[in-house]
Structure 1
């Protein structure tokens, strides 16, 4: 099994705590998050554009999986030294994040994100740096 992720979702997953845009979105995001959290050997492929998380974005909301988020993806991938089509385990991706990102980077990188204000992504980066596991979704 390979999970396809765009650049900024590498950081979004670290802060996922069960909140989302709709019930269907949360079901999909929780499934992806829990797979990666409990099976860190799962392969992740970096892609450009809408990914496995975007596929459940609610049709009644303003679709943001295209457009300005591409710049966010590019900034995060550049900071991590990753490029589209690269594949690695989730565990290796998390190790790279812990080496290249500090919690304070979230405020600088994710200025347009509506979830940034909750501080959960900063917290998730901190967990990786400290070698702590990510919490169960919703926990």
Structure 2
């Protein structure tokens, strides 16, 4: 099975501790992370993904905004550059523990944060990175 993920959520998952917009959002996010921790592949999508699902019925849902699409584009370019491969929507891949560590290292150094500019979670994610990602829920299995 695969988990549909939009590009900027690949960055969000690096620091995910179990906090979010609503209890339903957090419960859903936990299920998504658990699936990834169990070894499911990621299918990159354009637009709302499995993490967005609880938000899609909200009247002010930001998941469709152009600013979020721009964030996805920036994240896709930055992640691809930092992993040394071209990533594009429609691609299915398995994020390895080594790649997760590599992305977290780049994130903590700031070279992977371009898509995070203007995000309401920026400060929290910065604190988590400064704390060596302690308590983060994404812990990929060894292949």
Q: Same fold (TM over 0.5)?
A: yes
Q: 2:2 maps to what in 1?
A: 2
Aligned length: 128
Deviates more, 1:96-105 or 1:49-58: 96-105
Q: 1:55 to 1:116 in 2, by over 3 A?
A: same
Aligned Cα root-mean-square deviation (Å): 2.8
2:62 aligned counterpart, secondary structure? coil
Whether 2:113 is the aligned partner of 1:112: answer no
Distance in 1, matches of 2:101 and 2:136, equals: 17
Whether 2:70 is the aligned partner of 1:66: answer no
Q: Which ranges of 4 or more aligned residues in structure 1 deviate by more than 4 Å?
A: none
Q: 1:16 touches 1:121 (CA, 8 Å); kept in 2?
A: no
Return the offset for 1:58.
6.3
Deviates more, 1:28-37 or 1:105-114: 105-114
Measured against aligned partners, the alpha-carbon deviations of 1:34-66 in whole angstroms (never above 9, x if no partner) come to: 2223x2x31100010001111111644621101
Q: 1:53 maps to what in 2?
A: 51
TM-score w.r.t. the length of structure 2 is 0.74
Return the offset for 1:87.
0.8
Deviates more, 1:112-121 or 1:72-81: 112-121
Q: 2:91 maps to what in 1?
A: 86
TM-score w.r.t. the length of structure 1 is 0.76
Distance in 2, matches of 1:17 and 1:61, equals: 26
Return the offset for 1:24.
0.8
Return the offset for 1:79.
1.4
Gaps of 5+ in 2: 81-86, 139-143
Whether 2:102 is the aligned partner of 1:98: answer yes
Return the offset for 1:136.
3.7
